[in-house]
Amino acid sequence: MALRTAVAAFALALSFVGIADAAPRTDLRIGLVLEPPALDPTAGAAAAIDEVVYQNVFEGLTRIDETGAVQPALASSWDVSADGLSYTFHLVEGATFHDGTTFDADDVVFTYGRITAADSVNAQKALYAGIDSVTAVNANTVEIKLKGPDGLFLFNVGRGDAVIVAPESAANNANTPIGTGPFKFVNWQKGADLTLEQYAGYWGTKPALTKVTYVFINDAAARVNALLAGSIDGINNTDASTLPVFKADPRFKVVVGSTEGETLLVQNNAKAPFSDLKVRQAIAHSLDRAEIIAGASSGYGTPIGSHFPPHSKDYVDLTGTYPYDLDAARKLLAEADYPDGFSATLKLPPVPYATVGGQIVASQLAKVGIKLTQVNLDWNQWLTDVFTNKDYDLTIISHVEPFDIGIYADPNYYFGYNDPDFQAIMKQLNETTDEAARKELLIAAQKRLAEQAVNGYLFELAQTGVWSAKLEGMWQNAPVEGVVLSGIHWTE
């Protein structure tokens, strides 16, 4: 009897599948590697926050599209004053927050006031420090004045850190996010999954999906199994090492794109022997990028020669600055008074590209006599030891922030790189708004970093997603952190 019931239920389930096949599905289950600690993108740096809410639940005045270009969002258009110091945003009309309150200029003023306040806990507070004032001209117009020209201002306005929140709900956004986006937050089963549903009152184009569930799966092998068993429909970014299984399976498609993550062998430039240019050059000559990419990232990723993403229009290929050449490396080491090499520690954060990459780098540098002791740290220890206290020789890390070449101009940054020439280039860049002139300066900056071999420039991190073959409209590249749902739809 029980068996017959089970068989009947199974047959019923099969027939439901048949019906579902007739009309395209409108629900989606996405796997996420890490669960967001909270859901307020203006009060935390975790990428998982943006992966759930950016452009889905929350929107900014502008938004970043798949190519990394700035597009209108809650501001339908804007005017920039001739001196580049004043931006006037014209807001869309009819937009509402998910709790039903209307969106207007006061929300914008509130949002920016919150970001720039003295007690602000915004993770990218420094990006908005140049804002002088934010004024509501009328209900649908906002004027933002800057202290100095900022070529990246409109991009920064479009980041997850500057999404518009309402004074009525902002305090609770960590657990019940209320934004203006096409999807509203429904439920968060902590530790398991999080559900969004289409927001009926959305001001813009309605997305194809009506219900989206994010499933948090930390274990790489468990993610593979979840996809194969059909309990999730796709993963935005997963271990490259697991991709071959899906490439061979017609039920899936593998989507490989670029990110803003420059993966570096970071050298403590303030500390001997890495303060010696010849040592840094020797290390650069000893790194075989092709092998590192093959081993640490299963072959996905583009070699880089400086701190700049290859898909950028201002990119220049500098991978040939110090080509793989062990003899040259040994000669430079001898000139630097380390004919037999030296010993150093390599402190690694807990991400596969670093733990595996560290083994490969250690194996490669051993060939010229540089003996590395690998120390594996958890994220907190890495942040404390390496990033905050600068107590390290070498580390491997991917810098995923877009347009972050400016970090090299800060002598207090953990790179310990203090170069007046580079700082001058950056200062000039920040004051330049002319596109052609900016390009020239950016190229000069990339070249300076490559020649100085500040860090070992390894590869641009790839975004390796796996999705059901019947899904369309996913972003291939990741110019910003996020999984933008509005374009995703089922084909059958």
Partner 1 sequence: MTDLPAPEKRVWLRHPSLRIGAVASLVFLLVGFVSIAWVPYPIEVINVGAAMQDPSPAHWLGTDHLGRDMLSMIMKGTLTSFVVAAIAVAIGALIGVPLGLAAAAWGGPAEWFILRVNDFLFAFPALIIAILITTIFGPSAINAMIAVGIFNIPVFARVARGGALSLKTLDYVGAARLAGMGPIEIARRHILPNIASLIIVQATIQLALGILAEASLSYVGLGTQPPATSLGLMLKDAQTYALLKPSLALIPGITIILIVVALNLAGDGLRDQLDPKLRRLGGARGAA
Partner 2 sequence: MIRFALTKFLGLAATLLVAAAITFAALDILPGDPARFILGINATPDAVAALREQLGLDAPALQRFFGWIGGMFVGDFGLSYTQGQPVGQLIAGRLGVTIPLTVIAMILSAGIGLPIGILAARRRGSFADAGLMVLAQLGVAIPNFWFGMLLVLLFSVTLRWLPPGGFVPWGENPFAAFASLILPSIALALPQAAILARVMRTALVDVQGSDYIRTARAKGLTLSEAVWKHGVRNAMLPVLTILGLQFAYLVAGTVIVENVFYLPGLGRLIFDAISARDLILVRSSVIILVLAVIGTMFLTDLAYAWVDPRLRSRKAE
Catalog residues that contact partner 1 under the rule CB under 8 A: 219-221, 224, 228, 239, 241-242, 244-245, 291, 294-295, 350, 355-356, 358-360, 362-363, 366, 374-378, 381
Please compute, for residue 481, the number of CA atoms within 13 A of its CA located in the half-sphere on the CB side: 19
Rounded to the nearest 10 degrees, the angle between the axes of helix 420-430 and helix 435-452 is 160
DSSP helix/strand/coil, 69: coil
For the CB of residue 220, give the shortest distance to partner 2 in the complex, in Å. Answer: 11
Listed in sequence order, the DSSP H helices in 309-468 are 326-335, 352-365, 379-382, 420-430, 435-452
Residue number, 358 or 456, with CB nearest to partner 1: 358
Provide the minimum distance between the beta carbon of 384 and partner 1 in the complex, in angstroms, as a whole number. 12
Judged by beta carbon distances under 5 to 8 A according to partner kind, the member of partner 2, partner 1, none in contact with residue 277 is: none
Angle (nearest 5°) at CA 29 between 26 and 30: 125
Q: Would you say the C-alpha torsion 404, 408, 411, 414 has a positive or negative sign?
A: positive
Q: Does 351 bind partner 2 (CB under 8 A)?
A: no
Determine if 387 is a binding residue for partner 2 (CB under 8 A): yes
Structure tokens at 424: 């001058």
Q: Does 94 bind partner 2 (CB under 8 A)?
A: no
C-alpha 286 chain-centroid distance: 29
HSE-up (13 A, CA, CB side) for residue 287: 30
Does position 16 interact with partner 2 (CB under 8 A)? The reply is: no
Minimum distance between the CB of residue 3 and partner 2, rounded to whole angstroms? Answer: 14
Q: Nearest-CA neighbor of 227 among 203, 208, 247, 246?
A: 246
Shortest Å distance, C-beta 356 to partner 1: 7
Residue 119 sits in the site that holds partner 2 (CB under 8 A): yes
Which alpha helices (H) appear in 23-104, and where do they start and end? 47-53
Residue 121 makes contact with partner 2 by CB under 8 A = yes
User: Does 216 participate in binding partner 2 (rule CB under 8 A)?
Assistant: yes
Q: Supply the minimum distance, in Å, between the C-beta of residue 241 and partner 1.
A: 5
Q: Is 228 in the site for partner 2 (CB under 8 A)?
A: yes
List the structure tokens of 460: 């641009």
Using CB under 8 A, pick the residue from 23, 118, 200, 248 that binds partner 2. 118
Instruction: Give residues 179-198 in contact with partner 2 (rule: CB under 8 A).
Output: 189-193
From 67, 77, 231, 373, residue interacting with partner 2 (rule: CB under 8 A): 231
Contact 93, 80 (CB under 8 A): no
Choose, by CB under 8 A, the member of 144, 157, 215, 284 that binds partner 2: 215
Is 294 or 336 the residue whose CB approaches partner 1 more closely?
294
- Interface with partner 2 includes 420 (CB under 8 A)? no
Cβ at position 295, least distance to partner 1 in Å: 4
Binding of residue 211 to partner 2 (CB under 8 A): no
Residue with token string 């595996």: 356
Which pair of tokens denotes residue 19? 């019906």
- Would you state the structure tokens that stand for residue 5, as one six-digit string? 């019931």
Phi/psi of residue 206, each to 5°? -75, 135
433 touches, from partner 2, partner 1, none (C-beta below 5 to 8 Å by class) = none
- Rounded Cα gap, residues 115 and 124, in angstroms: 9
With contacts defined by CB under 8 A, name the span among 95-103, 223-231, 317-325, 434-442 that binds partner 2.
223-231
By CB under 8 A, tell whether 38 contacts partner 2. yes
By CB under 8 A, name the one of 26, 96, 116, 120 that touches partner 2. Answer: 120
| Cα–Cα distance measured from residue 296 to residue 291, given in angstroms and rounded to the nearest whole number | 8
Interaction of residue 113 with partner 2, rule CB under 8 A: no
Q: Is 12 in the site for partner 2 (CB under 8 A)?
A: no
Of residues 67 and 384, the one with the C-beta less far from partner 1: 384
What is the C-alpha to C-alpha distance for residues 56 and 196, in angstroms, rounded to an integer? 9
C-beta separation of 170 from 47 below 8 A: no
15 binds partner 2 (CB under 8 A): no
* Minimum distance, C-beta of residue 379 to partner 1, in the bound complex (Å): 11
Q: Residue 401, interface with partner 2 (CB under 8 A)? A: yes
* Residue that the structure tokens 């005045």 belong to: 61
Q: How far apart are CA 410 and CA 341, in angstroms?
A: 30
Binding partner 2 (rule: CB under 8 A), the pick from 15, 67, 132, 379 is: 379
> Which of 26, 27, 45, 167 is the binder for partner 2 (CB under 8 A)?
45
The closest alpha carbon to 284, from 261, 259, 312, 306, belongs to 306
Cα separation, 389 vs 40, in Å, equals: 28
- Closest CB to partner 2 among residues 248, 436: 248
Q: Are strands 27-32 and 211-216 parallel, antiparallel or unpaired?
A: parallel
Residues in contact with partner 2 by the rule CB under 8 A: 35, 37-38, 43-46, 118-126, 174-175, 189-193, 215-219, 221-222, 225-226, 228-231, 378-381, 383-385, 387-388, 401, 404
